[in-house]
Structure 1
């Protein structure tokens, strides 16, 4: 068995396990499993792993560093030219990276300031004009659930204004909210808070119904509180592999 075959078998087993967990979590919450998207967090893993996951039927992939994502997106396109792939930016994003992200990302889940929103809108506009992309950028507002200094995300109080800013821009499409459960907060408490923030947002923006919440260790709690997208890395791909950006 080749190295690729071994890795494919390993990933297939992990993917089956994650899908079983998702199915059980949705059943416990009384939700259809189709309601929750699996987003494979491929940071620090090579494009060949992404290609194998695409072979196994996954479509959505996430990165948290622009400088790692950009060459990986190009390499996947070379490895699997016919693969359908949607790329999400889930890490903190500096405004000076907006231009590059606008060339490869389908979704940015980490919008957390008016200045970043402005930079993304301008970058997408330029990318559309240059033929580097063909549609607006989907955007989620990242919420900092414990408002710890230095952590990505805006406060709950800032969500309405930031969401309105995104929704008003032709280059962007407001899709919902994203958050990470703080280490010092029980996941049920964190995701219940995010669910309430999402409900308030949907009153003004019915189209913004996505809740990106839950990772390898707490996806069951997130699904129970309405998550529509879980971001899974370790449980799917294994321990972090360091690769060159």
Structure 2
């Protein structure tokens, strides 16, 4: 495990160097970009190595894995303050599993899901089990790919007036995923997300839509160039064999 720790510590230095360089090109501060370690394919020992390497924000795709990782880490003394977000598709029958555990849910992909999360969070708030609304991001299918979930941009524009009225959620920004294999298309996708965020922020000044969650292992530099505030990195963090291109 010591060899693995050194590998991911070295990789983190490379990642952060690239993030800093992309931020500088965009006239941004590297402090404005959070780096999430997506731990969906690894176990608790690998998460502990990532913590020792310097990561503090983690993302899980499945509610049951979120619970398992949190329970495993709860047995480890003297850990630093950590955040675990839910970034994968969320089924309505798993909402209760995520509430109170995920710091933020990135994958609110429809008005119906937003309403369901809000209703259950409200119930917990009224019972005193949650101190406030659940932080969420709205997932947007900017690229229009049929295989991807999320609001269509025009659908989100139509839905925003209703979404902002939901008492059980606190909308913090937007999330998207870009098509794989073409960095130019990826950058255009991230640009579209930023432009949509700016438009919605103008039309709904009561919201603070500061967060743009976009950019993964193969396209995080393009995301930073287009304003991403949170990049979600899995293989590039946890797999020493993954090649940084």
Establish whether TM, by shorter chain, passes 0.5.
yes
Partner in structure 2 of residue 28 of structure 1? 25
1:216 matched to 2:213? The reply is: no
Indicate which of 106, 111, 119 corresponds to 1:109: 106
1:94 matched to 2:91? The reply is: yes
Partner in structure 2 of residue 188 of structure 1? 187
Distance 1:239 1:12, change over 3 A: closer
The range that moved more, 188-197 or 33-42, is 188-197
Q: What is the Cα deviation at residue 81 of structure 1?
A: 5.1
Q: What is the Cα deviation at residue 221 of structure 1?
A: 0.9
Partner in structure 2 of residue 155 of structure 1? 152
The range that moved more, 163-172 or 199-208, is 163-172
Partner in structure 1 of residue 6 of structure 2? 9
Q: What is the Cα deviation at residue 183 of structure 1?
A: 3.1
Off by >3 Å, runs of 4+ in structure 1 = 126-135, 161-166
- TM-score with structure 1 setting the length: 0.89
How many angstroms apart in 1 are the aligned matches of 2:135 and 2:225?
A: 25
Measured on the aligned residues, the alpha-carbon RMSD in Å equals 2.0
| Equivalent residues of 2:11, 2:240 under 8 A apart | no
How many angstroms apart in 1 are the aligned matches of 2:50 and 2:158?
A: 38
Distance 1:161 1:29, change over 3 A: same
* Residue segments in structure 2 that go unaligned for 5+ positions in a row: none
Partner in structure 2 of residue 243 of structure 1? none
Distance 1:107 1:162, change over 3 A: farther
* Residue segments in structure 1 that go unaligned for 5+ positions in a row: 241-245
Q: What is the Cα deviation at residue 91 of structure 1?
A: 0.9
- TM-score with structure 2 setting the length: 0.89
Q: What is the Cα deviation at residue 122 of structure 1?
A: 2.3
Indicate which of 50, 53, 73 corresponds to 1:53: 50
Please show how residues 56-95 of structure 1 align to structure 2 within 5 Å: 56-80=53-77, 82-95=79-92
| Equivalent residues of 2:63, 2:98 under 8 A apart | yes
How many angstroms apart in 1 are the aligned matches of 2:201 and 2:127?
A: 33
Distance 1:140 1:164, change over 3 A: farther
1:144 matched to 2:172? The reply is: no
Q: What is the Cα deviation at residue 188 of structure 1?
A: 1.9
1:179 matched to 2:180? The reply is: no
The range that moved more, 151-160 or 161-170, is 161-170
